[in-house]
Structure 1
Amino acid sequence: QGGTLFLDEIGDMPLELQAVLLRVLEDKEVMRIGGRRYKKVDFRLIAATNKPLDEMAKENLFREDLYFRLSVLSIQLPPLRNREHDAELLSGYFIRKYCKKVGSKLRTLSPEAQKIIMAYNWPGNIRQLESAMSFALNMTQSDVIEPKDLPEYLTSTKNLVKINFIANDEEKTEEILSLRKLEKAAIDLALIHAHNSIPRAAALLGISKATLYRKLKEYNYDQL
């Protein structure tokens, strides 16, 4: 009584169960399986889905009356690929969650690993990110999660072409990035993937070692 019920992926609920849920919401009473009496209930319902319920309702794939019941207050979240800084925050949350769950020492992400996470487009959204952090915690042998501990698809050569330049909000004054920024971002990702190996990074970028050395000097990579 007076609590909150959260239903995830409600778009996958069968139509017959949708009818049951609608009846509960309208009558505010339920009967237990095997029970003989209805019991009054009072709760707040929160439902989530990644499916277009409005379109499904028009196609009779989701009950229209239930849809209107649920859409009294609707909040739409953009995909994780459009919330790169959320990916950084959520990755830290999942790391803390799993470390606490297994009773292990708290781990952190290295700056290089953070850059990879923020650059990836996360087609599987938050669930994929959570899975990736769980994988990394199982792979790492130190207190800091490095790029080598992340799932291979995050550090694959294919992912290097999906450059999403990471900058501070105040630096994002233009929608179109300069070629100089894109070039430096490509070098950053190649060095991360190659673990700072100049020959490997040059091969990933498709340029000679001499060209890469010249670019490193141009962008003041003094640490290499």
Structure 2
Amino acid sequence: MLAVRNLRVRYGQVEAVKGVDFEVNSGEIVVIVGSNGAGKSTILKTISGLLKPTEGTITLDGKPIHGLEPSAVVKLGISQVAEGRRIFPQQSVVDNMLLGAYTRQRRRAEISNDLEHMFERFPILRVKQNHVAGTLSGGEQQMLAISQALMSHPRLILFDEPSLGLAPLLVEEMFRVIRDLHAQGATILLVEQMVTKALELCHRGYVLETGRIVLSGPGKELLADPRLQEVYLGRDASVPVNGGSGKVDA
């Protein structure tokens, strides 16, 4: 489905991604883990068209997509749930959801039906549909960001640190949502700081260190690999790499 080959990405003179190769097959959950600054989010931004690679290729079903504008990538069926819940805070909840469907040439009735499905998935969004999105809690904003991404009917969903800043109970809820989406047929590429939870969830995982993939394999095999701990300098891989610092939202 998705294939990334020899991907290199620079921020000015700094090379953030250094010759990365991986693939995501239809129906899989694939995870990229690594410490802060390893290049994980840069990879997702490049796939979604927000950044341009300096070298390498990204293909979807064998057709190149690197260099496309973000709207074109969405039209091809790739949607990203960005780190930090990148919603439109001054717009209403329902308007944010409708913005997720902007690339679709569909009848109003079909989009209304999709909205109803989102409200069934996240009932609190129905209650707060007319609220300004910026007034939602962190967990509610994450639900909104996921709903916005799903409104485009993606074939591949990119999750960028969905647990970031969430309280423990909401972290569990986010992973449940990802499992449910996969059970309903979604293909998922997940970048995540909760290493153990992410690798327990996935079919295959990739460990990124300073822009390079240093380990790869089935998630459970990676969890048992002592080299994983070496990458994290002896840290407990069951906790966020950043130690869980920062604001925690309810």
TM-score range for the pair, normalised by the shorter chain length: under 0.3
Larger radius of gyration: 1
Could you state the TM-score of these two structures normalised by the residue count of structure 2? Answer: 0.24
Whose strand proportion is higher, 1 or 2?
2
Whose helix proportion is higher, 1 or 2?
1
Could you state the TM-score of these two structures normalised by the residue count of structure 1? Answer: 0.26
Question: Relative CO higher for 1 or 2, CA cutoff 8 Å, sep ≥ 6?
Answer: 2
